Amino acid sequence: MLVAGVDSSTQSTKVLLCQSDDGTIVGQASAPHPDGTECDPELWWDALVKAGAGLLDRADAIGVAAQQHGMVVIDETGQVIRPALLWNDVRSAPQARELIAELGGPRQWAQQTGSVPTASFTVTKLRWLAEHEPAAAARTAQVLLPHDWLTWRLAGRLAEPATDRGDASGTGYFSPAAGRWLPELAQAALGRPVGLPRLAAPAEVVASTADGAALSAGTGDNMGAALGLGLDPGEVVVSIGTSGTAYAVADRAAADETGAVAGFADATGHFLPLVATINASRVLTVTARMLGTDVQGLDQLALAAPAGARGLTLLPYLDGERSPNRPDAHGVLRGLTSSNTTPENLARAAVEAVLCSLADAIDNLADCGITARRVILIGGAARSPAVRAIAPAIFGVPVTVPEPAEYVALGAARQAAWAASGAAGPPSWPPAGTSAEYTAEPVPLVRERYAALRDATVGWGG
């Protein structure tokens, strides 16, 4: 039996066709998405049709994992009302502050939803819609997440839209601990009742395609990656892609009232406490462009500079930041002298900045009782020799880099195989290739300088 896994990310759609018994990949393809912080969902569908050509029609079951938080609003006829607002759109930052204040403060939000909402969360986007596009808000009959909408489209829009507890936990109107929607929070945000997709069980078949393929519940991209990696409880993953994340599978729900850790659910019935940053691999590509090189050239430059970049420290909040919650922040470069302003030092400072930001995220998980003894490093930037070499020195623990693979799509395929089998748990697929291990002596001075700059710039922005 063959199963397909779909990863509909911010940047592209990727499709893997796998054998259901062991996860062997027998076909794969991808198609790009437009850049930006909002997107017409039909463009995701077009990319899925293109990437899935010759693959989806061979699958006996299909699972979809997609970027979290995106707000897809549809009317009573099922038509999309406006382009989806994505996770990286921070225009709803004022609405996040309003909602936190209106509905009991950070502690109340953390206890109810597992998270304190930032501008990334769907609930804040609903309030933005109500305040800035009231006509669109008035037409809104149902709000879906990107993976919900794509699964519904694969079912020919014939089945009731469904979601899973993992992706639902990123909306701001779901309780991971209780496993249920909190429709009163969605209503408070939008100003009127709004329909929500049906909550499906982790291994449920929610619909089928016109070709008869079973459709699993799907999930969010981070939950998909955790399933694709086959994480055991307590293992800490750092992913460096368009966004940066640090997360671990846990047996109990998190409720961090500081707002640093999002208390998500995972795709298997467990939990996935997670810290997300907006600025990750793009910091590296922007720095490379500024230096007139590419990411491979940036690697070479960064590795040619000493640890600490001779005093240069970059705060990488180029597009605002989610962790810490600074939607109006900008990047800051500190410590410039006539002797250290070299391409090598700036490249090194950029790599160290991204890793220091994610080291803060690992510390946030530790505050919730999850201590990293090693870090599993994935994402596009995990292919970078500079990132691999410098990461253990910044994180202070050994770093394991698995074989590069499309782990989100692999997790979606594994969920599809689980749903199709009717088994009690997901199939045991062997790791995708071999892993590389990296160690280095910690360099605490780099993190100390970074922390000093981070703390000194609180309140900067605009």
- Strands (E) in 283-419, as ranges, are 313-315, 332-334, 375-378, 399-401
Q: What stretch of H or E contains 96?
A: helix 93-102
Q: Which of 91, 82, 86, 81 is nearest to 70 (CA)?
A: 86
DSSP helix/strand/coil, 359: helix
Residue 221 is a catalytic residue: yes
Long-range pairs of 27-33 with CB within 8 A, sequence gap ≥ 24: 27/54, 27/55, 27/58, 28/55, 28/406, 28/409, 29/53, 29/54, 29/55, 33/8, 33/9
CA 409 to chain centre: 13
DSSP 241-273: SSSEEEEE-BSS----TTSSSEEEE-SSSSEEE
Q: Which residue has the tokens 């460096």?
A: 240
184-223 burial string, b = 16+ CB within 10 Å, else e? ebbebbbeeebbbbebbebbbbbbbbeeebbbbbbbbbbb
Question: Distance (Å, rounded) from C-alpha 87 to C-alpha 95?
Answer: 14
Q: Which of 343, 337, 239 is nearest to 290 (CA)?
A: 343
Report whether 276 contacts 120 (CB < 8 A).
Answer: yes
Catalytic residue among 148, 221, 256, 360: 221
Q: Which of 183, 180, 351, 372 is nearest to 273 (CA)?
A: 372
Assigned token pair, 61: 């079951």
Q: Which of 280, 335, 228, 222 is nearest to 5 (CA)?
A: 228
Query: In Å, how far are 233, 266, 428 from 270, measured between CA atoms?
Result: 9, 5, 17
Query: In Å, how far are 25, 415, 432 from 426, measured between CA atoms?
Result: 17, 7, 16
Q: Which residues are catalytic?
A: 221
